Amino acid sequence: MANELRGKKVAILAADFFEQVELIKPRDALKEAGAAVKIVSLKSGEIQGMNHADKGDKVDVDLTLDEANAEDFDALMIPGGTMNPDTLRSTDEALEFVREFFRAGKPAALICHAPWVLADAGLARGRRLTSWPAIQTDMRNAGAEWVDEEVVVDNGLVTSRKPDDIPAFNRKMIEEFGEGKHKQQAEKSREAPQREMAAPTLET
């Protein structure tokens, strides 16, 4: 995969309490493939990683949402955890940042609970995807076709369920990011609202 993504710029959108392995391993795979990767978050400084229920390492933030511009990036990646995507989907600036990638047809890769963000951004409807199994009802309520597979690709959108899926997730992520913009991604996302009520969620 060396240099497969040379010249590509990738934003990793994350907040405190992201699942550490779901950020670090995809980030490292992207860098190994030649991509320039920036961590984008709600605040400057550092964000806290988690190893399931235990605190892990902190990661330096490169850009805050106020500083970041989706136009400057070729692709988007969002790691999981529970609290990280829950914070992102509750933040209007984060939702609009994600919508900008989809409206432009840029590829995106989300793992575990991260597809929650798509539900609240109005981007899940009509998409075939997977996620952490406990939120499958949320995804279906948001209009997605949810499937139980290690990695799912739908016109530039890559999703996986959990840390065990990361090898397959990384391969497909790099493949889709290398292909560049997907016209159907933009077409499916054109009707995404500026603001949308959150989809119903389950207690997990």
CA separation for the pair 140, 71 (Å, rounded): 30
- Report d(CA 166, CA 41) in Å as an integer: 22
Q: Which two tokens stand for residue 33?
A: 């493939």
Q: Which two tokens stand for residue 163?
A: 């840390």
Amino acid identity of residue 128, one-letter, is: R
How is residue 10 written in tokens?
A: 């990738």
Active-site entry in 99, 113, 161, 182: 113
Six-digit token string for 170: 């990384």
Residue 113 designated active-site: yes
Question: SS3 of 63, please?
Answer: strand
End-to-end CA distance of the chain: 37
Active site residues: 113
